[in-house]
């Protein structure tokens, strides 16, 4: 499509437009056969990605989406038909701060008269496990923002949560598969390697957001929109990497949680170790990432079929495994 300046086209304001999720939303709206006015939000409109967007005809606005900038947020949301919003827990690893940031965006959208607010959320483990698993802070903050957004929904303000699945990139850069001092690659986990995860190429996240914007059935469904290309086991993902690289990767699963948390560097905050090292694994093992909900229902509304993990691998730089 051609990005337009015509006021007859809906204005979509995209948070985090130079990062993964917001960048993907912008990309797939640009691929649509529908016309949009696009306003991209970024902290620094002088960086190369921001300049490139501006050259495409996107309105690029520099803003820090913090609660203390609430009036400025309302200003950049002004006139918008749709807002896509994302918060970044990992920037400060403070769940309460993330919640305040998310609520401030929702309040600003309400004040600006935004019709459709789409939030990048994640499922609550506390709600689904009756409090058994409560330390997945990087999920829970987003879930609480989602609850707040739903409480504000009305005929004039539609709220849609789009929940990202398991990033394929988690299998890169030593996050789950690590190289030992002897050069051996090993995957270790306190659960079975046969556990399924909802795989997603995060660069395709915008397909689901575009579906929410362009299909009334998705907007009006009421359920959170799960972003999942396929359910695949951790073992299958590792085997696919082995096939693609020729590098042997040892699988050591069902280890103790005491052993599992040893991978965290000294100085890692205790609540992050509880989150990623213990409760995230427990939730995945006992309840599943999306806790049994139907993750396939949005697929028929997507503009194209999303990539499988193997397809993502085929176009990804895997040189780190070949060293």
> Is the per-residue pLDDT at 154 higher than 80?
yes
> Is the per-residue pLDDT at 1 higher than 60?
no
Q: Which pLDDT score, from 0 to 100, does residue 323 have?
A: 65
**Rounded CA gap, 155 and 56, in Å?**
34
CB 122 within 8 A of CB 143: yes
Q: Is 162 exposed, middle or buried (0-12, 13-18, 19+ CB in 10 A)?
A: buried
- Bridge partner residues of 157 (DSSP): 154
> Is the per-residue pLDDT at 93 higher than 80?
yes
Mean pLDDT check: name the lowest of 42-46, 86-90, 190-194, 209-213. 42-46
Q: Which pLDDT score, from 0 to 100, does residue 5 have?
A: 86
Task: Supply the mean pLDDT for the chain.
Answer: 96
How confident is the model over 238-251, as a mean pLDDT?
97
> Is the per-residue pLDDT at 75 higher than 80?
yes
How confident is the model over 232-244, as a mean pLDDT?
98
Nearest partner of 144 among 92, 89, 80, 199, judged by Cα: 89
> Is the per-residue pLDDT at 311 higher than 80?
yes
């Amino acid at each position: 499509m051609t990005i337009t300046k015509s006021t007859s086209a809906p204005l979509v304001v995209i948070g985090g437009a130079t990062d993964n999720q917001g960048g993907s939303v912008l990309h797939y709206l640009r691929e649509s056969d529908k016309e949009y006015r696009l306003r991209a939000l970024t902290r620094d409109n002088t960086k190369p990605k921001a300049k490139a967007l501006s050259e495409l005809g996107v309105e690029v606005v520099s803003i820090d989406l913090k609660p203390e900038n609430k009036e400025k947020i309302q200003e950049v949301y002004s006139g918008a038909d749709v807002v896509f919003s994302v918060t970044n827990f990992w920037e400060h690893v403070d769940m309460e701060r993330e919640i305040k940031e998310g609520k401030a965006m929702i309040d600003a959208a309400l004040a600006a008269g935004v019709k459709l607010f789409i939030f990048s959320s994640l499922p609550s483990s506390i709600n689904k496990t009756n409090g058994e698993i409560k330390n997945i802070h990087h999920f829970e903050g987003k879930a609480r923002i989602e609850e707040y957004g739903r409480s504000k929904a009305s005929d004039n303000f539609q709220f849609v949560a789009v929940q990202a699945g398991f990033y394929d990139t988690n299998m890169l850069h030593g996050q789950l598969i690590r190289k030992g001092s002897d050069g051996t690659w090993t995957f270790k986990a306190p659960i079975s390697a046969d556990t399924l995860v909802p795989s997603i190429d995060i660069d395709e996240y915008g397909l689901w957001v575009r579906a929410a914007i362009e299909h009334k059935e998705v907007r009006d469904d009421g359920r959170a929109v799960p972003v999942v290309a396929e359910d695949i086991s951790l073992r299958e993902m590792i085997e696919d990497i082995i096939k693609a690289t020729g590098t042997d990767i040892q699988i050591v699963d069902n280890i103790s949680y005491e052993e599992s948390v040893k991978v965290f560097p000294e100085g890692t905050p205790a609540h992050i170790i509880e989150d990623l090292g213990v409760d995230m694994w427990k939730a995945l093992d006992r309840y599943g990432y999306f806790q049994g909900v139907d993750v396939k229902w949005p697929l028929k509304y997507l503009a194209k079929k999303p990539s499988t993990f193997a397809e993502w691998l085929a176009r990804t730089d895997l040189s780190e495994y070949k060293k």
